[in-house]
């Protein structure tokens, strides 16, 4: 019997061009009416008021950019400093860092013009 290796397709990590391609469409999204100034597009108070098309843009951006900004570390994901620098050089104010109260959680944000995208890990279930 031959020793067979499992062939799992490897998805290449996103590149800065991939991140920009999903961030740029967010620039022209208009915030829904309400008290949501300064809230990221993927916060519930904003996201729920967006059109389905705009929600899909936000979903795509959140997935690609969150992946792009992280790299494997000794204790799980950690900020990819090179990726953060690349987005900053392209004009996107970006930060991703370890949460001061939970060292296993990353918190961050990317600004796209007047809009922003939260790229934080989800809070733990008992987070207040």
Q: Quick check: 128 pLDDT over 80?
A: no
Q: How much is the pLDDT for 36?
A: 82
pLDDT digits (tens, 9 = 90+) for 2-26: 444 444 455 678 999 999 999 999 9
Q: How much is the pLDDT for 3?
A: 47
Torsion angle of C-alpha atoms 19, 60, 112, 43, degrees rounded to 10 = -140
In whole numbers, what is the pLDDT of the chain averaged over residues?
Answer: 89
pLDDT digits (tens, 9 = 90+) for 80-107: 999 999 999 999 999 999 999 998 899 9
């Amino acid at each position: 019997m031959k020793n067979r290796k499992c062939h799992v397709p490897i998805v290449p990590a996103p590149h800065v061009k991939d991140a920009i391609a999903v961030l740029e469409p967010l620039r022209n999204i208009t915030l829904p009416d309400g008290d949501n100034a300064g809230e990221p597009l993927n916060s519930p108070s904003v996201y729920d008021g967006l059109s389905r098309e705009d929600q899909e843009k936000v979903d795509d951006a959140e997935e690609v950019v969150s992946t792009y900004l992280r790299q494997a570390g000794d204790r799980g994901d950690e900020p990819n400093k090179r990726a953060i620098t690349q987005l900053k050089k392209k004009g996107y104010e970006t930060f991703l860092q370890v949460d001061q109260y939970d060292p296993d959680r990353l918190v961050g944000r990317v600004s796209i013009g007047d809009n922003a995208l939260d790229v934080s890990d989800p809070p733990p279930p008992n987070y207040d």
